[in-house]
Copies of this chain bind each other. A is one copy, B any other.
Amino acid sequence: MPETNPRILLARRPQGAPVPEDFRLEEAPMPVPADGQVLVRHRFLSLDPYQRGRMDDARSYAKPVELGGVMECQAVGQVAASRDARFKEGDWVLGGFGWQTFSVRPAKALIAIDPAEAPPSTALGVLGMPGLTAWVGLADIGQPKAGEMLVVSAASGAVGQVAGQLGKIAGARVVGIAGGAAKCAFVKDQLGFDAAVDHRAALDPQLDAACPDGVDVYWENVGGAVQAAVFPRFNNFGRMVMCGMIAQYNTSTGADAAGAPPGPNLGPVVRKRLRIQGFIVGDTGWSRYAAFRAEMLGHITAGKLRWREDVVHGLAQAPAAFIGLLEGRNFGKLVIALD
């Protein structure tokens, strides 16, 4: 057992895009579990775009990380020492452990992971928060039907890859928007989307070709130019699942500040009877987790659901990996492996 707990703190609040100096690696004392608590050694940390919002001191749906506090994330790990009968050494668990190497948590705050069902890191991706996000957003808002056109932005990312595949399973035609030839080839050839659109090239001609009959459901992960290109293509009764707008997460004063770029004129919302709706997976998702997991495991067993992880090794790499995530440089669900 090491003597210290390496962890990464929020050193200062970013001005626009985070830079390495906004983070600080420190060697904290190893935490010690009390009765009813468990010491967890983290194996995979989940880096996700929402964590950018936690770095700002702005009103949001969750409290910001405090200055000097440990960066937030979910992680999976193994029990290193247990003072609760529910867990024994070596058990795999999921929790909100943060960007660090060890955590002490009450046993009741941990979720057990069965590594025989799926690789433990999937509890951070296809079977975890991002997968649940895709599942909830499609069930509650997107509701793609057979023959409808679903367009997914950030299609090779943690949420997008699941949203698109669930759309295919529902019988929709699915177009993925991603950055660069490799990601486009992945969503089309590996995930089975009907077409891919590269947002680094001109969007309109590609969307004209991929969606000649318009768009019924748009899964919004990005905002910006992609949103502007897709929005006019909605068919009547289209649904826009507002999951995120990562393109503007690095604006210095938050997504809804006065300086945020304008959005689409909402006139077509009336004429076309559109529904634009936002959601946060934490509102209702975890209470529906069992149904989600059962359904997803069924799809995996049937060979209908694939996933791709972007695994970066070493806690010290987390800030650079996170900065890259916000710039779209990850390829698949980004996790930090702590070996």
Listed in ascending order, the chain A residues whose CB lies under 8 Å from chain B are 53, 60-61, 220, 223, 227, 232, 236, 242-245, 248, 254-256, 260-280, 283
The verdict on A242 contacting B270 (CB below 8 Å), with A260-B265, A262-B264, A277-B276 known, is yes
Contact B262 A273 (CB under 8 A): no
Contact A61 B255 (CB under 8 A): no
The verdict on A278 contacting B274 (CB below 8 Å), with A242-B266, A256-B268 known, is yes
Chain B residues whose C-beta falls within 8 Å of the C-beta of A254 in the assembled complex:
267
A245 to chain B, nearest CB (A): 5
Which of B220, B263, B271 has a CB less than 8 Å from the CB of A263?
Answer: B263
Chain B residues whose C-beta falls within 8 Å of the C-beta of A273 in the assembled complex:
61, 277-280, 283
Contact A277 B277 (CB under 8 A): yes
Chain B residues whose C-beta falls within 8 Å of the C-beta of A264 in the assembled complex:
262-263, 266
Contact A263 B266 (CB under 8 A): yes
Contact A269 B274 (CB under 8 A): no
The verdict on A255 contacting B265 (CB below 8 Å), with A61-B271, A271-B60, A271-B61 known, is yes
Which of B227, B266, B270, B277 has a CB less than 8 Å from the CB of A275?
Answer: B277
Chain B residues whose C-beta falls within 8 Å of the C-beta of A271 in the assembled complex:
53, 60-61, 255-256, 278, 280
In the bound complex, CA of A267 to CA of B61 (Å): 13
29 contacts between A and B (CB under 8 A): A60-B271, A61-B236, A61-B271, A220-B266, A242-B269, A242-B270, A242-B274, A245-B270, A254-B267, A255-B268, A255-B271, A256-B271, A261-B265, A262-B263, A262-B264, A262-B265, A263-B263, A263-B264, A263-B265, A266-B276, A268-B278, A269-B276, A270-B280, A273-B277, A273-B278, A274-B276, A275-B275, A275-B278, A276-B277
